[in-house]
Amino acid sequence: MLSNERKEFPEKPEKVHISESLFTILEELGGYEMEKRGTVMVKGKGDCVTYWLLGKSSKARFNHLEIM
């Protein structure tokens, strides 16, 4: 699994599967609805905590992200 690659699972169609590091970034930015999926085994990395990105919310603290 790539850290921010969109993944669909048969049991959860139309959901985006994200890494813990991306979850942390999006949580700091605000404006996203996310739900903990749990721990999954990732080839080459071992057990990793992952999340579902459910969509946008109206609580965004920033209008854009500036990357340096």
**Residue 23 placed within a domain:** yes
Note down the domain range covering 40: 16-56
Region 11-29: mean pLDDT is: 85
How many domains would you assign to the chain?
1
Q: Is residue 4 part of a domain?
A: no
Sign for the pseudo-dihedral over CA of 47, 10, 18, 34: negative
What percentage of the chain carries pLDDT values higher than 70? 66
38 close to 50: Cβ distance less than 8 angstroms: yes
Specify if 68 maps to a domain. Answer: no
- On whether residue 63 sits in a domain, the answer given is no
Specify if 43 maps to a domain.
Answer: yes
How many angstroms separate the CA atoms of 38 and 10, rounded?
A: 16
User: At a CB cut-off of 8 Å and minimum separation 6, what does 8 contact?
Assistant: 14, 15, 17
Assigned domain for 38 exists? yes
Quick check: 28 and 20 in contact, CB under 8 A? no
**What is the rounded average pLDDT of the residues 19-40?**
92
Residue 52 forms part of a structural domain: yes
Q: What's the pLDDT score for residue 45? A: 87
The token duo for 28 is 């700091």
